[in-house]
Amino acid sequence: MDGRDKPGHDSLFREAASSRKKFVIVMGSSDEKTKLLRSLAIDRSASDATRAAPRRWHVRMVVGGGAAAVLVIAAVLLLQLLADRSTDRTAASQPPASTAQPASAPAADQRRLAGLAASGYVVARRKATVAAEITGKVVAVMVEEGMVVKEGQELALLDSVLAEKDLALAKSRVESAEAAVAVISADLDDAVRIVVRAKTLSQKNVMSEADLTKAEARAGVLSAQLRQYQAQFETARLDAQRNAAVLEKHHIRAPFDGVVVDKSAQPGEMISPLSAGGGFTRTGICTVVDMESIEIEVDVNEAFIGRVGAGGAVDAVLDAYPTWTIPAYVIAIVPTANREKATVRVRIGFRQKDPRILPDMAVKVTFLEDATAAKGRNETAAAN
């Protein structure tokens, strides 16, 4: 039994020894395991250093960009300062405008701007809408807009058939009356000779007193008839003149030299000096403007009208030509004020006419004054 058991005991002993040996090996390799574990552990100090590097780079970029911006702004300010100093130096080196002018300036240069401006319009003092004095149908219109016409020039023609007939009839009456006057004149001359002869015969007692009285009566009757026919002749002549004038009114003529600015009627239309209720009758043929009579009318505030005087110099600028200054002068101050607008109307004339100046153009004017007048006005204001 002991012999069978011994081999088993030896095997158990060998297993136990081998187990101890493995345990010792495991226990003996703990340092290596520790080193291995440490090698596998994350080095937080290196990670923190790695993360800190981008932050430091970003901060460096921000600081560097800010410094660059500051340098750019400083450079711009420096350039601006240098430019301002250069401008001031140039202005200081230039002589004043007053010293550059000669001491004896022309009288026109002595004027200064009064500071009083006004606006208005170009108007024509002579402007007429040409119309007929009678009612009739327009046969022809001989003008167009923009045409220059002379005084007495025919502008239009009305239907004059009836007027021509009336004139012919009046002339016939004149001729009839004239013939009647001639007949009565001959009879009267004969009656006067008979009266003279009767008186001679009556003195010689050859003709009776009754025959003399009869001859004298006949001469008186013929004399009265002659005056009657002469009156009729004068009436017929005046009637003929009237009909001729009516016929002339069918020829519409220009009242003065000017330019046609508007054409109102056309051939075939009815025209009348009075407006018709139906609205189918014209009252005018065209509008003529005398371009030599154009001037400016402006409204000046009544508080400043004392600064304007007749004959004073004016600079006018048309809205159509803003770079063109037109010399003008004050014609007159209309002696009345507008109660609603508190203004006074002033008439201004052009020193020289120009075809570019047209009626109804808007214009702005500036009143000029002499330095002497300005000084006197200031002294008067100071005294008051």
pLDDT digit string, tens, across residues 364-383? 999 987 544 444 445 545 55
Residues 20-45 pLDDT 10s = 444 343 444 555 656 655 655 555 55
How far is residue 11's CA from residue 323's CA, in Å, rounded to a whole number? Answer: 132
In the chain, where the domains are located: 2-33, 42-94, 108-125+292-383, 127-158+250-289, 160-246
The lowest-confidence range among 7-11, 132-136, 253-257 is: 7-11
Same CATH fold assignment for domains 108-125+292-383 and 127-158+250-289: no
Secondary structure letter of residue 307 according to DSSP = G
Residues 75-93 pLDDT 10s = 766 776 666 665 555 444 4
Q: Would you say residue 169 has pLDDT above 90?
A: yes
Which CATH class for the 127-158+250-289 domain?
mainly beta
Among 347, 318, 316, which Cα is nearest to 330's? 347
How far is residue 344's CA from residue 332's CA, in Å, rounded to a whole number? Answer: 11
The pLDDT value given to residue 280: 62
- When pLDDT is averaged across residues 328-346 and rounded to a whole number, the result is 91
Q: Would you say residue 152 has pLDDT above 70?
A: yes
How far is residue 321's CA from residue 151's CA, in Å, rounded to a whole number? Answer: 32
Q: Are 378 and 112 in contact (CB under 8 A)?
A: no
Strand ranges inside the chain, DSSP E: 111-124, 127-130, 136-141, 148-149, 154-158, 251-253, 258-263, 270-271, 281-282, 286-289, 294-301, 313-318, 325-338, 343-350, 362-370
What's the pTM value of the predicted model, to 2 decimals? 0.55
Q: Are 190 and 294 in contact (CB under 8 A)?
A: no
> May I ask the CATH architecture of the domain 108-125+292-383?
Beta Barrel (2.40)
Q: How many CA atoms lie within 13 A of 63 on its CB side?
A: 6
In percent, the amount of the chain with pLDDT more than 90 equals 36
Query: 355: Cβ–Cβ under 8 A, 6 or more apart, which residues?
Result: 291
Residues 93-144 pLDDT 10s = 444 443 334 434 444 444 444 468 899 999 999 999 898 888 889 999 999 9
71 versus 278: the higher-pLDDT residue is 71
